[in-house]
Chain A
Amino acid sequence: MSIARVDSVKVDSILDKALSGERLTLEDGLALYESHDLIKLGAAAKQVTKRLHPDNIVTFTVNRNINYTNVCDTYCRFCAFYRPEGHPEAYVLSDDVILDKIRETYEIGGDESEILMQGGTHPGLPLSYYTDLLRKIKAHFPTIIMHSFSAAEIWKMVEVSGLSLKEVIRQLKEAGLDSIPGGGAEILDDRTRMRISKLKESWTKWMEVHDTAHRLGMNTTATMVIGFGESHEERILHMLRVREQQDKTGGFTAFISWTYQPDNTALKGTRATAVEYLKNVAISRLMIDNIKNFQSSWVTMGPKIGQAALEFGCNDMGSTMIEENVVSAAGATHSMNIRELIRLIRDAGLTPARRNTYYKILETY
């Protein structure tokens, strides 16, 4: 009648290990993936989350995505966004357009709103483009938090400028960069990376950016994307590498996983399911014991599963994520988004709170 199950005694002992504060190994993680007991994995992850967040607060931030360019020379097979330089649909937003978008965000979210500015790896933009833009933004909006540029973009700046990684990040920070998003991590294992994106930097290069930023006093986030056809072992290795880095430098503010979206991409494939996502979130929480905040992905999983993830290890609902192409009705759209996030969190019996990029609580609702 039933599928052969992984020995539930073994799974229970692994979960007990995690709950007692002992660290899980690669083998432990693999055994958890073989378990089909979604509820028990969720229950354990929830207990770990409650230990770290006993106040029942669930946070979210007000931010805006600005994709300043779609020109990219990395050609990831899973990406629907990039265009080669010279393509008729290629663009680089003007500074004025970018400042207008930030002004809109500031008018909606006020001080300590977040700008998640990311784009392609543009081979023609000098480092001064970025530093000048950051200075201009900070001159106009001193309290806006620039949580911007993925590791891949920063490596492109290193390549174009000829400077060292440390020097590039130092200059970006000095110009106004506050934090670095975890984008581009995908799966931190090169077998999968080479299959989905031959030109993308290796996982150690991704980590080197975050290590360097942490040592310069910056915070960053770590991400994970599932559904590329990666193995369970590769997923666990991803988590272990993030955990190991956090042991060294402690600069990750959050861990964010989501599912690969195959529409309009060269890689195609099928979407990871909700159960797979919730299971992955729970196992991540159990494996990565040294990152406090786990962000739910309502963007890729929808509001229902995004909310359910609050029972599977997440303590944060991410952000309002004003879209790049939002029209001037942004006010209405945005306040609906804040209201909806608050409703989802309250409906789960938890207390919603707005935070900034560093997870400092700005307002409790």
Chain B
Amino acid sequence: MEVIGKTHPFSDIWEKVQAGIRLSKEDGLRLMKSNDIIALGHMANYVREKKHGDYVFFNTNRHINPTNICQTLCSFCAFGVRMKDPKAYTMSMEEIEHRADMVPPGVTEIHIVGGNNPQLKIDYYEELLRRLKKKLPHVHLKAFTAVELDHFSRVNKMPVEEILQRLVAAGLDSMPGGGAEIFAEKPRSIIADHKTSGERWLEIHEIAHEMGLRSNCTMLYNHLESEEDRIDHLIALRELQDRTGGFQTFIPLSWHPENTELIKQYPDLNWSTGFLDLKVLAVARLMLDNIDHIKTYWIQVGTKLAQTALWFGADDLDGTVVEEKIYHAAGAETEQEMEKSELIRLIREAGRIPVERDTLYNIVNMEFAIA
């Protein structure tokens, strides 16, 4: 049988996909407006398997959020607080070192992001990186979104180039993809007002790529963005990748309505559905023909959807992987941790091959015991 036959509405796009021809904005819009997720999944899976066969990548990392104090309190975000908030914190260097001491063997990456704290100068972050590198010389430090770097640039009155040079000298290895939100001005001005603009985000990643740093990219969806906004966002990322080639992974992030200002202003917003999550992943795989990896973040969309996504374009499963889970919230739909053996089982039972990687997608291990 043929999933997309000659009379299918997407037969022309399917021919392009098979021929490796880049999809246009109009193609992307047709896909993003469609509810035929079987057709979208079929095409996305074709591209995914052409690039990666059955490999599903995951890495073992830990997160450090040095501060939750943020002067940019975006309406969609539940993390940042004001300085006087009782929950406010800034980690001391001793706390940072303590976190480093707790990192178990086998962790290949530390992911470091935090709020835009107006009191912290670049020397705080340089010292933080130095101490982590000294404690964990073989662990990759993936740190600071473009928004944070833009903030550092303003607070220290230095160009981003100089900020990055100093951070790299102190131990920075690559950048995460956060802070992209949605580049389109209209929804961005509502959900992320006063934050770094989409153009500035792209500019900072371009600077980083030209300095030899790899980075990831994201898109926040399921808020106020239109279908066209999503496609424009993907095309902007694709164009930058054409120029620099520095993006490794694209990660769609669905907005969660709990505990944010945005849900109070727009009470009709809701959790993303399975159709929307799978559609965005599949269309991203189809549009981003020059970005190698599409990641699904199981902490956010849930493990069930994330596993299914391995057939809708995703080749990477992100989330906190532990060797043995200490804390278990029985029945929780979206858990915070997953045992490595459980992740491996999920991948295998999807009919895929689990591959543990480091930050730069070097293979760390793929000889896992059959549980």
A residues lining the B interface (CB < 8 Å): 1-3, 12, 15-16, 19, 36, 38-40, 42-44, 46, 263, 270, 273-276, 278, 301-308, 311, 343-344, 347-350
Contacts and interface: CB of A to CB of B under 8 A. Distances in A.
Interface string B332-371: 0100000000000110011111000000000000000000
Interface stretch (B36-44, B107-115, B136-144): B36-44
Interface stretch (B181-189, B234-242, B297-305): B297-305
A36 B3 CA distance: 15
B38 A39 contact: yes
Interface stretch (B12-20, B49-57, B157-165): B49-57
A289 B157 CA distance: 70
A263 B332 CA distance: 12
A278 B38 CA distance: 12
B1 to A, nearest CB: 4
A311 B273 contact: no
Nearest to A46: B38
B42 A343 contact: no
Nearest to A36: B351
Contact of A308 (B274, B331, B346): B274
B345 A270 contact: yes
Nearest to A44: B1
B278 interface: yes
Given A270-B345, A274-B308, A348 B1 contact: no
Contacts of B45: 39
Contact of A273 (B271, B277, B350, B353): B350
Contact of A302 (B333, B345, B351, B352): B333
A350 B305 CA distance: 20
A38 B41 CA distance: 10
Nearest to B49: A2
Contacts of B333: 302
Given A39-B38, A39-B311, A275-B311, A1 B54 contact: yes
Contacts of B302: 302, 304
Given A39-B3, A275-B350, 7 more contacts: A39-B38, A46-B38, A273-B345, A275-B351, A304-B304, A343-B270, A343-B273
B28 to A, nearest CB: 18
A240 B276 CA distance: 35
Nearest to A11: B1
B108 to A, nearest CB: 23
A308 B350 contact: no
A275 B307 contact: yes
B266 interface: no
A38 to B, nearest CB: 5
B1 A12 contact: yes
18 contacts: A1-B54, A3-B353, A38-B350, A39-B42, A43-B1, A43-B42, A44-B1, A273-B350, A275-B311, A275-B349, A275-B351, A276-B349, A303-B271, A303-B274, A308-B274, A311-B38, A347-B275, A349-B36
A308 B352 CA distance: 20
B4 to A, nearest CB: 9
B1 A344 contact: no
A311 B1 CA distance: 17
B35 interface: yes
B330 interface: yes
Contacts of B41: 39, 42
Contacts of A348: 35, 273, 275
Given A304-B305, A308-B37, A43 B351 contact: no
A295 B3 CA distance: 23
Contacts of A1: 53-55
Contacts of B307: 273-275
Contact of B301 (A46, A304, A347, A350): A304
Contacts of B39: 43
Nearest to B304: A274
Contact of A349 (B35, B53, B352): B35
B342 to A, nearest CB: 8
Contacts of A15: 1
B273 A347 contact: yes
Contacts of B3: 39-40, 43
Contacts of A304: 273-274, 277, 301-302, 304-305
B42 A40 contact: yes
A350 B271 CA distance: 18
Nearest to A3: B54
Q: Which of A302, A304, A305, A307 has the most CB of B within 10 A?
A: A304
Contacts of B345: 270, 273
A60 B312 CA distance: 27
A347 B38 contact: no
B89 to A, nearest CB: 33
Contacts of B350: 38, 273, 275
A1 B54 CA distance: 7
Q: Which of A44, A306, A348 has the most CB of B within 10 A?
A: A348
